[in-house]
């Protein structure tokens, strides 16, 4: 994203999805530091239940997700979040 921001003529950067596990400290900091990166992030929640997240083979817990959102908001207070939720996961 930093390399894209340096390309002349690119004024805004938005990417479609980032998995909670892939949100590194560097990427979180970039949301606060790079003005071309739009204040929007699609971050899939999928479930607020640790039991369901385990059944879905997700590598994060609900508490991890909430901590991640807090870190993102600390880096970029005006960040808007979009997500998706799975309702009625079988099993």
pLDDT of residue 37: 96
Q: Long-range contact list for 18-24, CB < 8 A, 24+ apart?
A: 18/42, 18/43, 19/44, 20/44, 20/60, 20/64, 20/65, 20/68, 21/59, 21/60, 23/68, 23/72
pLDDT of residue 84: 83
Confidence band for 89, pLDDT divided at 50, 70 and 90: confident
* Average per-residue pLDDT for the chain: 90
Name the pTM for this structure: 0.84
pLDDT of residue 16: 82
- Token match 């939720």: residue? 85
72: CB partners within 8 A, 6+ apart: 23, 28, 31, 41, 43, 79, 81
Confidence band for 20, pLDDT divided at 50, 70 and 90: confident
């Amino acid at each position: 994203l930093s390399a894209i921001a340096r390309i002349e003529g690119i004024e805004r950067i938005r990417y479609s999805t980032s998995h909670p596990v892939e949100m590194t400290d560097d990427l979180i900091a970039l949301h606060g530091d790079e003005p071309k990166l739009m204040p929007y992030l699609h971050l899939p929640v999928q479930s607020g239940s640790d039991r369901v997240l385990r059944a879905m083979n997700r590598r994060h817990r609900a508490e991890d997700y909430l901590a991640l959102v807090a870190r993102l908001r600390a880096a970029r207070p005006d960040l808007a979040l979009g997500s998706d939720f799975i309702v009625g996961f079988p099993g």
